[in-house]
């Protein structure tokens, strides 16, 4: 993820929630930075809890789907010249 994209997402979260998620400080002698607010800390903790709660369910589904993967999946090679021609035509 680009630096700019991360800043835009953080700004969007600060605007979307009724409490700020983080506070940014402008650079200077010590450099700038971002600090999570107490709300931001709770938000991250809640996300991590959701993620760990869903992991067993995800593992169950992925285990079921993995049984359907062919043991010897064919290897496909694509010539770079065909990719270049397709991308040139797409313009």
User: 82: helix, coil or strand?
Assistant: helix
Residue given tokens 């992991």 in the structure block: 55
Cβ(20)–Cβ(39) below 8 Å = yes
Q: Supply the pLDDT for residue 80.
A: 60
22-25 and 33-36: which strand pairing? antiparallel
- Cα 91 from Cα 87, distance rounded (Å): 7
Q: What is the pLDDT of residues 37-51, one digit of tens each?
A: 999 999 999 999 999
Which is more confidently placed, 27 or 8? 8
- Cα 85 from Cα 3, distance rounded (Å): 33
Tell if the pTM clears 0.95, that is, is over it.
no
- Cα 20 from Cα 10, distance rounded (Å): 9
- Cα 28 from Cα 60, distance rounded (Å): 50
Q: What is the pLDDT of residues 29-81, one digit of tens each?
A: 777 788 999 999 999 999 999 999 999 999 998 888 888 887 776 677 766 65
């Amino acid at each position: 993820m680009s630096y700019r994209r991360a800043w835009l997402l953080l700004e969007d979260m600060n605007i979307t929630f009724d409490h700020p998620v983080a506070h940014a400080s402008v650079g200077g002698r010590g450099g700038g930075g971002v600090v999570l607010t107490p709300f931001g800390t709770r938000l991250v903790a809640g996300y991590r809890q959701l993620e760990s709660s869903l992991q067993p369910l995800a593992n169950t589904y992925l285990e079921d789907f993995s049984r359907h993967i062919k043991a010897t999946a064919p290897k496909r090679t694509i010539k770079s010249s065909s990719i270049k021609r397709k991308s040139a035509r797409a313009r």
